[in-house]
Chains A and B, each alone.
Chain A
Amino acid sequence: MKFTVEKAALLSALQKVQGVVQARSTMPILSNVRIETGKDQVHLFATDLEIGLQDSFAAKVSAEGKITVSAKKLYEIARESREDTLRIESKESQGIVVRTGKSSFKLRGLSADEFPSFPEIKETGRIQVPAEALSEMIKKTAFSISSDLTRAALNGALIRFPDAGQANIEMVATDGHRLAQVIRDLKDSGIPEEEQKVIVPKKTLFELKKYLDEGEPKEIEIVLSEKHILFREGAYTLLSRLIDGCFPNYEEVIPREHPKVVTLDRELLQGAVRRVSILSDEKTHAIKLTFRKGELQISSSNPEMGEADEFIATDYSGEETSFGFNVRYIQDITSALQGEEVRIHFLDAASPTRIEDPGDDGFIGVIMPMRV
C-alpha cells in the first residue's frame, strides 16, 4: 500500500471517525481505523460494533493495500504535520510509515482482515431528508434521551418514517419525565410501503449531527433495514444498530388541550430561570413556577444556601397555579428552541405541561412537574 495525500483531506476524514473509535475496548483492534485504497481515493472505516463509520478522501494511490492502525495516533501525526502533503506506505501488514517533510513515523498496525466489517443489510425503506432539517430535529429532541441503562428503549430517539401516502418525518425522545417531538415536512413521500418506526441510539445521533453541522452536506439518504439504519451522503456512510425495544405510547401523554396558556419571551424566561437556579437545591434541581394574574413568579430554595425569586409580567388571567420543575428540563428545552417566544400550556401541579414555539407547529415539548 502506498499513497500521497493532502493533510487537510486526511485530517478531515480522520476527525470524523474519531468519535466512533473507542478509547478503551475489550477488543484492542477497535481502537484502530481501517485504511483501504481504492481508485484515486482511500477509504477509512472505524467501528465500535454498534456504529460503523466509513469515509473517503482523494489521494494519489501508487500501490494498493489495506491495514489497520491506531486512529488516534494517525490523527495526531496528521494534525502536527508541518507540511501539506503526507506519504503513507506499508510493505507488510505490520504497520505503516508516514513521511512528511523531514519527519517520519513508523506506526505499528494489525491486519485489516481481522477488522470487523459492515454487516450485510436487507433494505426495507429509503428516504431523502434535507441535512439542515435532520440536524435541527436532533437538536430539538436529543436532550430528552434517557441515559438510564436499565431502560434500553429510551436510550435513543424514535424516528417515524412516512409511508407512501405521507410526506413528513417525525423524531421523538423521552426519558420518562419529559418528552420532545419534532415533525418536519418532506418534499417527497417515503419509499416504504408502510410507516416504519425505529429507535436510533443516542451516540449515532450525536455522530450524525457532528457530521451534519461540520460537513455542510445538503441532503442525507437514510436507508432502513430491520436491525440497522444507514445515513449516507457521498462517500460518508454511518451505519448503526437499532435499539430493539418497545417505545412507550407517547401520543397519549402529550396534552392536547390545556385551558391555561401563557406566552413568554424566551430569552427573558431563560435568563430568569438561570438566575433563580443559582440557589436551587443542588441534588434535586427543583424550581417553582407560580402563575398568577399578570405575572409569573420563579422561585427556588436551597435549605443550606438560601432562596431566590424573580418575577416576569405576563398576560395570564386565569386562577393561580404553581408547580415545581427540574430546572434542567426547562433550560434544555428553552435553549433548544430558536423562536423569540415560548408558549406554556398547563393544567395543574400533577399534569404534564406542554411547552412549544408559537412560530413552529412541528415542535412539542412536554415536562412532567415535580412535587415541591
Chain B
Amino acid sequence: MSERIILHIDMDAFFASVEQQSRPALRGKPIAVIGSGKRTVITTSSYEARARGVRTGMNIFEGRTVCPELILVVGNNRKYADTSRGIVEILQDYTPLVEVYSIDEAFLDLTGSIRLFGSPEGIARRIKERIRKRFGIRCSIGIAPNKLLAKLSAGLEKPDGLVRLRPEEVPSLMERLPVTQLCGIGKRLGEHLAALGIRTCGELGCFPMADLCRRFGMVGETLSVMARGIDLSPVVPLCEEPAPKSIGHSTTLSRDISDKEILHRTLLQLSERVARRARRNHLCGRTVTLTLRYADFSTFSKRVRLAHFLHHGPEIYLAAREILSSLRLYQAVRLIGVTLSGLTRDYLQLPLFAEERKREEISRAMDAVNDRYGMFTVTWGTLLKRSKGPGVISPAWRPAGSHYVNVR
C-alpha cells in the first residue's frame, strides 16, 4: 500500500468550549460541565479549570475542593450534538472518508485529497480556522501515516495543536514513548506490560512476539505491531459502518431505588428508546439483556433469548421485566440498563392476530409524531411520571446511523 495520509482531529475541552462560546461570561473562567442528575460527575472541564487540577470523572465535591471558584454548568446535549454535526459537515468538505470516532473526535483519510486541496497541513489549518470561525472552539490535529499515529500526534501539543508526523520520524518517537500513550493501552494493560519490564513502545516492539502472544493471546500480536507504529485499519466513513451488534440504553437513577414500580417505569422508558432506535435502523433483535448496578457499584447483567425477533418497546420491556422479576434484589439499584442484541436487518414476520398488527401500526404512528415533535411526545401513560432530566450524552454518539440518538 502506498503511503496514506490520515488526519485525526480532537476538539479541545469540547463540552466546556461550547458552553464558553454560547455564554461569553464563562470565557476565561474555570468551568466544569456536569450532568443534570444529583449524582453527577464532571464530564469535561475548561483548560482554566484543568490548570487548577480539575479532572474528568471527579465528583462535584472533589472539583470544588481543588478549585473553589469552579463554575458548574449542566450539560446541554443538544448543543453538543448540533455542534458535532456541524463540525463533521466541515470535515466532509475535504474527503468523504470521515470516521466519526466519538462526539468530539474524527479521523479523515486525506490520501486522495491532497491533489485537490494541497498539503495536509494546509487542509488542517483551514479546518481549524473554519471551526474556530463558525463555532469559536479550538481543536488539536495530528497528521500521520495511520490512525494510531495520527491520534497519538494530535495529543502531543494540546490545546490548539497541529502536529505532522512523517514516516521517517516514527522509529525515534516510538523508541521512548511510554506504552500507555498508545490508544488502546490503558492503565491495567500498562501494569501488565510493566510487570514484563516493558515501559516504552521501543521495548514492546523488540519483545518477542511469541512471548507476548503466550501472555496476552491474540492481543499480543496487535500490541507488538502497534508498538512499531503500524496500524493498517482503514478510516470507516459513517455510511459504511458495520451493522451494530447491539442497541442499549442505561441510566443512573437520581437516587438508589428498590421500589419495583419505579424500576419498571424506568425499564419501560429505556425499552422504548432501545426499540425506537432499533426501528429507525430497521433492526430487530431476539436477545434482551438487563443490566443492574447496585448501590455498592457491583454490576451484573442477565439475558434472555426469545423465540422471536422484536422491535417494540412493550415487548422488550416485558422481557426485561421478566428478568427483573426473576431476580432477588439484594440492594437498592443505582443504574439500570436494557440492551437488545442478536440483531438482524428487516426481519418482518407478520403477526397473525389483529391485536399485534395494531401494535405495529401504533409504533409506526408514534414514531411519525415523535420524529417530528421529539422523543416521548406521544408515549405510554405510565411514562408521564418518568424522570425527565437529560443524562450525559454518550461518547459513542454519532451524527447518523445506529449510534445516533435524538438528544433533548
Which residues of A approach B to under 8 Å, CB–CB? 146-150, 174-179, 248-249, 252-253, 281, 283-284, 326, 350, 352, 366, 368-372
Contact = CB atoms under 8 A, between A and B. Distances in A.
A150 B318 contact: yes
B315 A177 contact: no
Please classify the interface of chain A as helix (H, G, I), strand (E, B), loop, or mixed, using the class held by over half of its residues.
Answer: loop
Contacts of A369: 350
A281 to B, nearest CB: 8
Contacts of A326: 349
Given A150-B319, A283-B344, A248 B306 contact: no
Interface string B344-371: 1011111111111000000000000000
Given A178-B352, A284-B349, 11 more contacts: A150-B306, A150-B318, A150-B322, A174-B352, A175-B307, A176-B351, A176-B353, A177-B308, A368-B349, A371-B348, A372-B348
Interface string B54-65: 000000000000
Contacts of A248: 353, 355
Contacts, number: 59
Contacts of A249: 353
B352 A284 contact: no
Contacts of B353: 176, 248-249, 253
A202 to B, nearest CB: 12
Nearest to A178: B352
Contacts of B322: 149-150
A146 B349 CA distance: 15
A174 B351 CA distance: 11
Interface in B277-291: none
A202 B53 CA distance: 64
A368 B350 contact: yes
Nearest to A303: B345
Contacts of B346: 371
B352 A146 contact: no
B344 A284 contact: yes
Nearest 4 CB-CB pairs, A to B?
Answer: A371-B348, A150-B318, A283-B344, A368-B352
B152 to A, nearest CB: 36
Interface in B294-343: 304, 306-309, 315, 318-319, 322, 342
A247 B355 CA distance: 12
19 contacts: A146-B307, A149-B322, A150-B315, A150-B322, A175-B308, A177-B349, A177-B352, A179-B352, A248-B353, A283-B347, A284-B344, A284-B347, A350-B350, A366-B352, A368-B350, A370-B347, A370-B350, A371-B348, A372-B348
A23 to B, nearest CB: 18
A352 B350 CA distance: 9
Residue among B347, B352, B355 facing the most chain A CB atoms (10 A cut-off):
B352
Contacts of A371: 346, 348, 350
Nearest to A324: B348
Contacts of B354: 252-253
Contacts of B315: 150
Contacts of A366: 352
A283 B243 CA distance: 14
Residue among B308, B318, B322 facing the most chain A CB atoms (10 A cut-off):
B308
A177 B351 contact: yes
A48 B89 CA distance: 63
A252 to B, nearest CB: 7
Contact of B352 (A148, A150, A176): A176
A270 to B, nearest CB: 21
A147 B307 contact: yes
A148 B315 CA distance: 11
A176 B356 contact: yes
Contacts of A253: 352-354
Given A248-B355, A252-B354, A283-B344, A148 B306 contact: yes
Residue among A149, A326, A352 facing the most chain B CB atoms (10 A cut-off):
A149
A149 B318 CA distance: 9
Nearest to B348: A371
B271 to A, nearest CB: 12
